[in-house]
Structure 1
Amino acid sequence: MDSFKQSNRASWDERAEIHAKDRTGFYAIDRFLAGEDVLYPIESAEIGQVDGLKLAHFQCHIGIDTLCLARRGAIATGLDFSPQAITKARALSQRSGIPAEFVEGEVYDAPELLGSDFDVVFTSWGTITWLDDIRAWAQAIAGVLKPGGRLYFADNSPAIEAFEQIDGTLRPHYDWRSAREKPQRFDAATTYTGDETPLVTNFTYEWMRGTSDVIDALLKAGMQLDFLREHEVLPFRMFPMMVEAGDRMFRLPAGMPRMPLALSLGATKR
């Protein structure tokens, strides 16, 4: 594991400990344990029927979405590279009484770790910017799916990733595409949930890429695009100026130009 991934994994191990406590309610764990489906509105509306389907959740973190999909009837397996996240996901499965399998490992190794007979791959929110090889990601998706199996993906729109809020306005600030050996460094004293616990590993590395990179990688891996949609909301406050939009979602404030903040797509393995 290279130094970029080592740093990122250390940060995600710390975050898993903080997020599992969910002091701010960002992950809605108490609501989930009370029986509520806490998938965010975009994927909740778009994922479709999963009852009885074998589903792999890539980059599952502490497992809350994996378990929501299992509650909907999926035979669910979560995969994440953070051992602390996997530990917390297994504990949450036990607390909720909802069965799911959780596997520690890299996304790129998913076919070897999970097998190749899944009906669905699900991955959402804060995923691909942590990966240095988008083509290997797409190949892993295709590798775990059976023919006719489908991908559901929702994440930040690559179009907005190049922007930063500076002096009260959004400005292009980052290159729209990162070289594999030169990711963008981000410093953060605390995690994104609003919990004020200081992070020891207070910097991470992310890889910028365009929408065309994502689509091209999936097509080259043998996937067929079923739909591609853009959304003006996100499930977190990406920029300080963003305001609540209901259902734990955020949007840009009135008076700002309308911009695509999120991207979702579905694809089928040919």
Structure 2
Amino acid sequence: MDAFKLSNRKNWDERADIHAQDRTGFYAIDAFLAGEDVLYPIEKREIGDIAGLKLAHFQCHIGIDTLCLARRGAVATGLDFSPNAIAQARTLSERSGIKADFVEGEVYDAPELIGSGFDMVFTSWGTITWLDDIRAWARAIAGVLKPGGRLYFADSNPSVMQHEEIEGSIRARYDWRSARESPQRFDSKTTYTGDQTPLVTDVTYEWMRGLSDVIGALLEAGMRLDWLREHETLPFKLYPMMVDAGERMFRLPPGVPRMPLALSLQATRTG
């Protein structure tokens, strides 16, 4: 594991333990344990009936979405590179009484780690920016899906990730593509949920890319794009100016030009 990924994994190990305590309610764990479906509204509207499907959740973190999918009837397997996240996911499975399998490992190695023949791959919110090889990601998706199996993907729109809020306005700050060997460095003393527990590993690295890189990688891997949608809300404050949009989502405030903050897509393995 190179220095970039090692720093990221240590950071996510710390975040997983903080997030599992959910002191700010960001992950709505108490509501989940009380029986509520805490998937975000975009996924709820779009994933369709998954009862009985063999489903792989890539970059599952502490497993709450995996378990929501299992509660909907999927036979779910979560995969994440953070051992702490996998441990917390297994604990959450035990606490909730909802069965799912959780496997530690790199998403690129998914076919070797969890096998093939899956009906669906699900991955959402804050995922691909942590990956240094989007083509390997797409190959892993195709590698675990059976022919006709589908991917559901929702995340920040790559076009907004190169921007930051600076002096009250949103401005381009980063190149739209990062070379594999030179990701963007970010320093943050705390995690994104509002919990003020200080992080020991407070440096992370992320890779910028274009929407064409994501779609192109999926097509190259033998996937067919079924649909692509853009959205004006996100489940987190990408920019500090963002305001509450309800249902645990955030949007840009009135007076700021509207932007496609999120995207979602479905793609199907063709062969």
1:30 maps to what in 2?
Answer: 30
Match of 2:240 in 1: 240
Shift of 1:196: 0.3
Q: Distance in 1 between matches of 2:90 and 2:237?
A: 28
1:190 alignment counterpart? 190
Q: Does 1:139 align with 2:133?
A: no
Quote the residue 1:54 is aligned against: 54
- Cα shift at 1:88: 0.1
What 5-or-longer segments of structure 1 have no aligned partner? none
* Partner amino acid, structure 1, of 2:156: N
CA deviations on 1:152-181 (whole Å, 9 max, x unpaired) are 000000010011000010000011100000
**Matched residue count:** 270
How far apart, CA to CA, are the structure 2 residues paired with 1:76 and 1:266?
18
Q: Using the TM superposition, give the Cα deviation of residue 201 of structure 1 relative to its aligned residue in structure 2, in angstroms.
A: 0.6
Letter in 2 for 1:6: L
Match of 1:11 in 2: 11
AA partner of residue 22 (structure 1): D
- Map 1:116-265 onto structure 2 (within 5 A): 116-265=116-265
Task: Quote the sequence identity (%).
Answer: 78
Question: How far apart are residue 197 of structure 1 and its match?
Answer: 0.3
CA deviation map 1:102-130 (0-9, x unaligned): 00000000000011110000000000000
Q: Matched residues in 1 for 2:78 and 2:48: separation?
A: 18
1:77-118: CA deviation from partner (whole Å, max 9, x where unpaired): 000000000000000000000000000000000000011110
Secondary structure at 1:147 match in 2: strand
Equivalent position of 1:77 in the other structure: 77
For 1:155, what is the secondary structure of its paired residue? strand
Distance of 1:170 and 1:214 partners within structure 2: 24
In the superposition, the TM-score normalised over structure 1's length comes to 1.00
Give the residue type in structure 2 aligned to 1:145.
L
Per-residue deviation at 1:203? Answer: 1.1
Give how far 1:266 is off. 0.2
Residues in 1 aligned to 2:42 and 2:186: alpha-carbon distance in whole angstroms: 27
TM-score, scaled relative to structure 2: 0.99
Q: Distance in 2 between matches of 1:101 and 1:259?
A: 37
Unaligned runs of 5+ in 2: none
